[in-house]
Amino acid sequence: MRRVHRYYESSFSQYGITPAQFYVLSAVWENDGLKFKDLAKSLDMDGSTLTSILDRLERQDMLERRDDPNDKRSLLVFLKEKAKLSIVEITCLAEKLNQEIKERFSDEDFATFEKVLEKLSQD
């Protein structure tokens, strides 16, 4: 797993982001204006981890947090123009990386690999 993670890290580094930051950007891209707590839940991340990632992405001018006009206790997360301009390209890169990894397995082995990952994510 460490080699796979390093492979993704080195590939995403050309965009100045980490794999974790990509997952956050991708989730916000799918639902711009998502509530912070819903984003954390969808990514299965605790609030402090997500806050740290959002802080870095804000410093990179990739996204912004705004107060929810309907609930002052909530924050909404939005992509900024810089992220909107590159997210499709980054997503294509992620799909290419996924395909490259998948090609290293037989269909049966890859199905087993996916089941193991799913099981690990449930624990």
- pLDDT per residue over 30-80, tens digit each? 999 999 999 999 999 999 999 999 999 999 999 999 999 999 899 999 999
In this structure, of 21-30, 67-76, 105-114, the range with the lowest mean pLDDT score is 105-114
Q: SS3 for 48? A: helix
The answer to whether residue 99 is domain-embedded is: no
For the chain, what is the mean pLDDT?
92
Mean pLDDT on 20-31? 96
123 lies in some domain: no
pTM of the model: 0.85
Looking up residue 21, the CATH number of its domain turns out to be: 1.10.10.10
Give a yes or no: residue 100 inside a domain.
no
Count of structural domains, the chain = 1
Residue 111 in any domain: the answer is no
**Looking at residue 67, what is its pLDDT?**
96
- CA dist 100 and 25 (Å) reads 22
Does residue 84 sit within a domain? yes
Domain of 21 in residue numbering reads as 2-93
d(CA 71, CA 23): 26
